[in-house]
Amino acid sequence: MDKLKAGIILGTVISIAFILLFLPVENIRIKEARPAQFVSNRPPGLLQAYNYRILLSYGTLLKRSEKEFFGQLLRFNSSEYSSSYFSSILQAYREKGFDINLTSYGNGQKAFLDWKNESSWGLSIGFLKDNKIYYVFGDRREAEKVMKWLISLE
Find out whether 29 and 55 touch, Cβ atoms under 8 Å. Answer: yes
CA separation for the pair 68, 133 (Å, rounded):
20
- Over residues 29-41, the pLDDT tens digits come to 999 999 998 887 8
Bin 45: left if φ > 0, else alpha if -120 < ψ < 50, else beta: left
CA separation for the pair 1, 96 (Å, rounded):
77
pLDDT of residue 68: 94
pLDDT of residue 28: 94
- Over residues 5-20, the pLDDT tens digits come to 888 888 888 888 777 7
- Return the SS3 of 14: helix
Higher pLDDT, 127 or 105: 127
Find out whether 57 and 65 touch, Cβ atoms under 8 Å. Answer: yes
Which domains does the chain show, CATH number per domain? 25-152 (3.40.1000.70)
The model carries a pTM of 0.79
Most confident of 36-40, 72-76, 143-147: 72-76
pLDDT of residue 83: 93
